[in-house]
Amino acid sequence: SRRISIAIDGPAAAGKSTVAKIAAEKLTYIYIDTGAMYRALTYKALNKGASLDNEAELIEILNNTSIELMPGESGQKVLLDGIEVTNEIRSAEVTNQVSYVAVHELVRKEMVKRQQQFAVDGGVVMDGRDIGTHVLPNAEVKVFLLASVEERAQRRHAENIQKGFPSDLEKLKEEIAARDKIDSERVVAPLKKADDAIEIDTTSLSITDVVDKIMGLALERI
Ligand code: C5P
């Protein structure tokens, strides 16, 4: 059977990575979390004290940065210049700044190039904001995941509490809405459903329901 590409886009905390990871495991495909790449760059730029609105400075950093994504024991492992930063890139600081890094055209151009290289042989499940529209416009399966801000904040809140992290539901709602706004309104490759993507509203669906839908679409095309 052929090894297809599956693009999964949608707003922040819509459950993209959770379902993408499971679908990739079921298909024995590679899973690429493109948000982790923007997060890794943001983490490095913040550590260097770079100005996040200085595109030239960011692209200079990115051109001298290696970002590796690999399967780990609990999900995807992220290496920044060979050093694991899997947890560090999920900090509140990085989460609340990453969208400012992701607006820059040259940053996106380099990220897209790297992402397309990961997908050259097919057999990939990739999640992000512009996968169906820009990174993999010819993906055999395109899915756009949606859920209300309320629902997405509730899920993230429950996840934080389960991990023993401090969590403020109202603040989460504001942060998720703010990130969606920047991601949707940017000029270059904004968050947008591709015309040929299948929209799935996950608000009242379980993880298994969503995975089953994606697997159904994939198996039709393999
Ligand atoms: O997916 P995640 O929430 O980790 O992504 C973090 C941020 O990276 C997004 O809010 C967005 O600003 C940026 N991003 C992007 N394009 C992608 C993936 C992520 O602009 N394909």
Identify the domain containing residue 137 by its residue range.
Answer: 5-207
Residue 116 domain-assigned (yes or no): yes
Helix (H, G, I), strand (E, B) or coil at 17: helix
Q: How many Å is the Cα radius of gyration of the chain?
A: 17
Residue 220 domain-assigned (yes or no): no
Could you tell me if 167 and 160 are in contact, meaning their C-beta atoms sit under 8 angstroms apart? Answer: yes
Q: Which atom of ligand 1 is nearest to the CA of 12?
A: 3
Q: State whether the beta carbon of 43 lies less than 6 angstroms from ligand 1.
A: no
Q: State whether the beta carbon of 179 lies less than 6 angstroms from ligand 1.
A: yes
CATH number at residue 68: 3.40.50.300
Q: Which atom of ligand 1 is nearest to the CA of 183?
A: 12
Number of structural domains in the chain: 1
CA 5 to chain centroid, in Å, comes to 15
Residue 217 domain-assigned (yes or no): no
- In tens digits, the chain (222 residues) has pLDDT values of 799 999 999 999 999 999 999 999 999 999 999 999 999 999 999 999 999 999 999 999 999 999 999 988 878 999 999 999 999 999 999 999 999 999 999 999 999 999 999 999 999 999 999 999 999 999 999 999 999 999 999 999 999 999 898 999 999 999 999 999 999 999 999 999 999 999 999 999 999 999 999 999 999 999
Beta strands in 106-176 (DSSP E): 124-128, 141-146
Burial of 155 (0-12, 13-18, 19+ CB in 10 A): middle
Residue 190 labelled as part of a binding site = no
Residue 128 labelled as part of a binding site = no
Residue 153 domain-assigned (yes or no): yes
pLDDT, residue 55, reads 98
Burial of 198 (0-12, 13-18, 19+ CB in 10 A): middle
pLDDT, residue 44, reads 99
pTM above 0.90, yes or no: yes
